[in-house]
Chain A
Amino acid sequence: MSNLAVLPIIIPLISAVILIFFNQKVKVSRALSKLFSLISLGTSSYITWYVFTNGTIILETGDWLAPYGIILVMDGLAAILVLTTNIIAVACAFYAPNAGLEKRETFYFYPFFFFLITGVSGAFITGDLFNLFVFFEVLLMASYGLIVLGGGKVQLRESLKYLLINLFSSMLFVTAVAFLYAVVGTVNMAQIAQRVQEVEQQGILTTIGILLFFVFATKAALFPLYYWLPKSYIVPNPVISALFGALLTKVGIYSILRVFTLIFVHKTDMTHEMFIWIAGLSMIFGVIGALSTSNIKLIIAYNIIPAIGFIILGIGLLNQDGISGSIYYLINDMIIKSVLFLLVGVIAYVAGTSDLRKMGGLIHYYPFLGWLLFVSALVLAGLPPFSGFIGKLLLLKGAFEQGEIAIVIIGLITSLLILYSVVKIFINGFWGDKETMAELPKKSTKGLLAPVVGLLALSVILGVGAEFFYPHIESIATYLLDPEIYIDSVLKE
């Protein structure tokens, strides 16, 4: 059954390749995309079930034994993230045909879309540091393809910044991997972990760890490395923004989670304590950014940053509650960010502008859309009983256990401001006089809201039904906090 581990990578890859051939046939492309994304979702659901009943799946690709070949490690964390990715993929595949992509659909939108899923899933599954780099390249290249898709001048200008900064961080990534290889003589993550532990992460190792951290932090958009994110995320079509917001930064934060719970865990006073600082600064500056604008898309884009701050907080704490909280928050944020990007996409579409100052009274025409946004704002701010609350509760509890009072206070205030930044859209955009936007042509939101409702329902279930999910998350956290389990399962010692 170990071949299961490769399916979430191969299925979207094959889908992408098939879709290249149907590029001009939009209807076929759409139908196939929906079908493929469902197949991929079904497979990853089964895999998740399998992993939680039978334990981690290890695949030694090409039968080259660990640590020499590339090892795929489908453990609980990878499985659950792959599953979430595929859920979002399905929602986006169903949203895309109505997203107003028009001709852009024939510029290889669907192949890029599946390549992106390939890269993201691969990054979650791989147990090899260099292979992680390769999957980063796959997802980045696909994202370059998507971000320039049918773009005008502004889009191309923002894309260029996105591309150059990511290119630089990729370069640094390979360099850091090379340094690490020079010291420990391997790129297999389990073996790296084992060897770093053997020498107690002495000497230059911590510095190399920090370099890797900066590589991932740039992709994850942590303070102070997120400059490239906000503007470049809002220029493409909403469905692409949703994919980016939900998946790309999350791969970065996942890599930090993996590397700094498995490998560099022996000098936490230097690394993990710094993460807590960065968490606080990301929250503050991120939410300040969200408050600074009246562009609704930009409000959501900036909100990515404080969320990443919350997730890194748990990694910095490195205790049971912190890690569980990070994972819970990560999954919650993947879902709610795609919801919000898709929603503001619809709002901007029906209002004919993304400028909040030009909106008002939309609730008279689009009540359902308004309430979806309102509930999403509550989820995003982490109010109970939604999924954001569970993650935040765990994170704050973990922080208190560690005596980190300041970060809790920052976290609480940030939550309030996050709520404010999004409720602002509701108050100024939806509330108000019926006349404000009376002249606007009424547009159909057919097919756009169903995927959003599905995702939002999921995040409600993740909150209300936390009893069903949390024990699994908790077991993943326990597993992550004991690197030996990972090392032993890969190296089979």
Chain B
Amino acid sequence: MILAVLVPLLIACFIPALSKLKAKIHTGIFVFFVPFIIFLYFVQFVGNDFSPQIEQYSWIPSLGINLDFYLDGLSLLFVLLISGIGSLVVLYSIYYLHKSERLGHFYVYLLMFMSAMLGVVLSDNIFVLYTFWELTSISSFLLIGYWHFKERSRYGALKSMLITVFGGLSMLGGFILLYVVTGTTSIQEMISQVDVILDSNYLPLILGFILLGAFTKSAQFPFHIWLPDAMEAPTPVSAYLHSATMVKAGIFLIARFSPIFSSYEWFFLIVSIVGIITLCWGSYMSVRQTDLKAILAFSTISQLGMIMAMLGFGTTIAVFAAVFHILNHATFKGSLFMIAGIVDHETGTRDIRKLGGLATFMPITATLAIFATFSMAGVPLPFLNGFYSKELFFDAGIQLDNSGFWSQAIPYLAVLGSIFTFVYSMYLFFGTFTGKKHLEQLPKKPHEAPFGMLVSPIILVLGVILIGLLPNMANAPFLQHAAEAINGDTEFYKVKFWHGWDSPAFRMSLVVVTLGIILFVTRKRWQAVYQVLPGKASFNKVYDAIVANMDSVSRSVTNFYMTGSLKTYMSLILGTTLVVSFFVMFVSNGFTVSTDQLADISFIEIAVVLIMIIAAIGTIYMNHNVAAVLVLGVVGFGVAILFVIYRAPDIALTQLVIETVSVALFLLCFYHLPKLRKSTDSAKTKTMNAIISIGFGALITMVAISAHSSRWFESISDYFVENSYKLGGGDNIVNVILVDMRGLDTLFEIAVLGIAALAIFGLIKNKKNKEAE
């Protein structure tokens, strides 16, 4: 299995080389064999006696990340879809994409996606699943942006990525929580610990996180907005990713985790309600579209909603119907996308208003379309697979436990959604292939597509018919295993075409068809309803507003405090330090005063300190550079005097020298500097600044007093005093410390001075250089 997952990625590495040959051989021909062989490999597993297989490889075992691949009925269904539809799509793309396109890029992304998608459905390890999940988002991003010179493509690509990666991250949150709660990273082991998960306080959060992931990926209301924009991708991509496979990843996720959540009431409620709303909204909106692919996009949204709703119901019949419909939807929707692509390719437009009457030009395409659309509409004919799953869906809706409001409303909503499904299906077929011809509006003269392009849709439509004729053919060897993986039911479900006149599901179908025909015929008259609902409201606007505001709000927020003024920065930094430190000092009872170890204070000390204080305050009020520096110098010399009083003549000398030199330097510099301007700050700012600076002074003073009052330990300086002569051989303890005991400090302080000298030298040289130029 690991080979099947990684082979597309490996082959992708060779595509750039192979694409050089594209003048002779279309790159797609090489690529075709990849999914096809994978398909053949997995087909062998289909059979009545299939039992789940597991394959394990270590990757990062110490973090619980392992390449554990688990093939059960559910994964098998998806794997066959991915590889099967994948083969057909690649085949189709060979004719769809001209050799002048950047084929290398296209197929690299497509193969990347294939690996990713196979990985998603086969991984048993949550983190590996997540890895592949994000890879599907990224490859989808690249594929949507394939024609990136178009503004719409870039918009669609970004939108799909933001929404699906958002969901992916949320899912990651849920996975990590599951890991924390269960202590395992294997989904199968989690399923065996259902009780632990259900008892956890985090259950609502886990469910919410995971559902967000599933809903965004599967384009459920209100996250569906990315899917219509994803239609900017080349049509084979839409058929493959945005209809048959990737958007079903969310469905897969829900199905995969059903055994864990199914007995949790909220799971039923949220998943079925979101699903059914999506069904209705998608089909309702679809009727309004004019672009063939947009109709199909909303149709896909709506069908995904239907499958989602059935998984939410969770009953035997619903789950079976969901699995059945996953297969059916892939067949008819896949072929419809390809048909839309053919129409686009052969007429040059996808605008249904310009199309019409194409059946005479493209008879084969039209025939295929009729099967696919009627199957999608759920027309009760015994050779259309869509009808069977639709009717099972109705059955499942009715059989719900009729206690709550939603359980009762669901059958009605199901019918409502299906009526619109019927309408857009008819609209899609008749609008394109029958009616008046508008040849003059078409960019190209329409004609039937080349045979190669028709092969894939023909195979899919044959699938529609075959499943329609023999609906139970795939049950025992295939679908039943998938359903069993979801709800554990081994009961064999038999699909019947005819349930009798009194079967409620059949009556619902009749209602759908009757009302559907009426609405379709009269559709021009009720189009006005879209002015009311949704009217001008749209979730796209919400998205656009969020993205646009993200830029402008972030700009104004950032510019608010990033003023570029050093004064602002300093007051913010000091202010924060001040507030937090005071708070901590207060809470931790940090402030202590002890008068035990104080020396006597002489008059002269008081006098010196007073002078220093006055001088320091005075500096602020000086309006002249020179005056300010001189007054500041008083503070420095005061410090020197204090050193003298404390009998540290060498330090006092140093201080004196530094002070003299810096005052002199300042005076020299001021010659070149502009005059001090009077501060233009408002009184409010000035007060604020005063509070901050006085506060900060107070803080430092209080910490200093407390630190002095908490001398709990003997200082290591006693050791220096004892040993400076004995071990260091020097009388002057300061010297011994500087050059020996802490020589390393000194070495690097010298280095600092050296660097400073070089930096200044560099600056001056720089200036000279500039002047020379």
User: Which A residues form the contact surface with B (CB < 8 A)?
Assistant: 13, 20, 61-62, 64, 67-70, 103, 107-108, 111-112, 115, 118, 122, 130-131, 134-135, 137-138, 141-142, 144-145, 148-151, 160-161, 164-165, 168, 172, 175, 179-188, 191, 195, 199, 203-208, 210-211, 214, 218, 224-225, 227-228, 230-231, 267, 270-271, 274, 285, 288-289, 291-293, 361, 363, 378, 383-385, 389-390, 393-394, 396-397, 400-401, 405, 408-409, 412-413, 415-417, 419-420, 423, 427-428, 431-434, 466-467, 470-471, 474
Contacts and interface: CB of A to CB of B under 8 A. Distances in A.
B744 A131 contact: yes
Contacts of A205: 590, 710
Interface residues of B, number: 99
B551 interface: yes
A399 to B, nearest CB: 9
Contacts of B130: 384
20 contacts: A67-B716, A68-B719, A108-B761, A118-B751, A141-B759, A148-B763, A165-B569, A182-B704, A185-B714, A185-B717, A203-B590, A204-B706, A204-B709, A231-B564, A288-B558, A292-B551, A292-B557, A389-B131, A466-B60, A467-B60
Contacts of A184: 712-713
B149 interface: yes
A231 to B, nearest CB: 7
B750 to A, nearest CB: 10
B83 to A, nearest CB: 23
Interface in B119-177: 127, 130-131, 134, 138, 145, 148-149, 154, 157-158, 161-162, 165-166, 169-170, 172-173, 176-177
Interface string B256-281: 00000000000000000000000000
Interface in B487-545: none
Given A204-B706, A207-B703, A397-B179, A161 B138 contact: no
B277 to A, nearest CB: 25
Given A111-B758, A420-B158, 9 more contacts: A13-B751, A112-B755, A130-B745, A138-B751, A185-B717, A204-B591, A207-B703, A285-B557, A433-B149
Contacts of A214: 576-577, 580-581
B580 A210 contact: yes
Nearest to B762: A107
A316 B564 CA distance: 31
Interface of B: 58-63, 65, 127, 130-131, 134, 138, 145, 148-149, 154, 157-158, 161-162, 165-166, 169-170, 172-173, 176-177, 179-180, 202, 205, 550-551, 553-555, 557-559, 561-562, 564, 566, 568-570, 572-573, 576-577, 580-581, 584-585, 587-592, 700, 703-704, 706-717, 719-720, 723, 740-745, 748-749, 751-752, 755-756, 758-759, 761-763, 765-766, 769
B651 to A, nearest CB: 15
B561 A227 contact: yes
Contact of A207 (B62, B590, B712, B755): B590
Contact of B180 (A225, A292, A400, A427): A400
Q: Which 4 A-B pairs have the closest CB atoms?
A: A185-B715, A145-B759, A431-B148, A204-B706
A25 to B, nearest CB: 16
A337 B588 CA distance: 38
A210 B578 CA distance: 10
Given A182-B707, A195-B713, A432-B149, A292 B765 contact: no
Contacts of B759: 108, 112, 141, 144-145, 148
A210 to B, nearest CB: 5
B562 A270 contact: no
A161 B138 CA distance: 41
Contacts of A207: 581, 584-585, 588, 590, 703, 706
B162 A420 contact: yes
Contacts of B61: 467
Contacts, number: 286
A427 B158 contact: yes
B122 to A, nearest CB: 16
A183 B172 CA distance: 47
Given A107-B762, A134-B749, A274-B580, A183 B710 contact: yes
Query: Main secondary structure on chain A at its contact with chain B?
Result: helix
Contacts of A474: 62
Nearest to A415: B169
B588 A206 contact: yes
Contacts of A230: 562
A137 B744 CA distance: 13
B534 to A, nearest CB: 27
B765 A107 contact: yes
A179 B761 CA distance: 36
A359 to B, nearest CB: 13
Given A168-B570, A400-B176, A401-B180, A466 B63 contact: yes
A363 B716 CA distance: 63
Contacts of A61: 743-744
A412 B763 contact: no
B173 A409 contact: yes
A375 B497 CA distance: 52
A416 B758 CA distance: 44
Contacts of B568: 227
B172 A467 contact: no
A115 B755 contact: yes
Nearest to A187: B716
Nearest to A13: B751
A206 B584 contact: yes
A471 B60 CA distance: 10
A450 B766 CA distance: 30
A183 B569 CA distance: 31
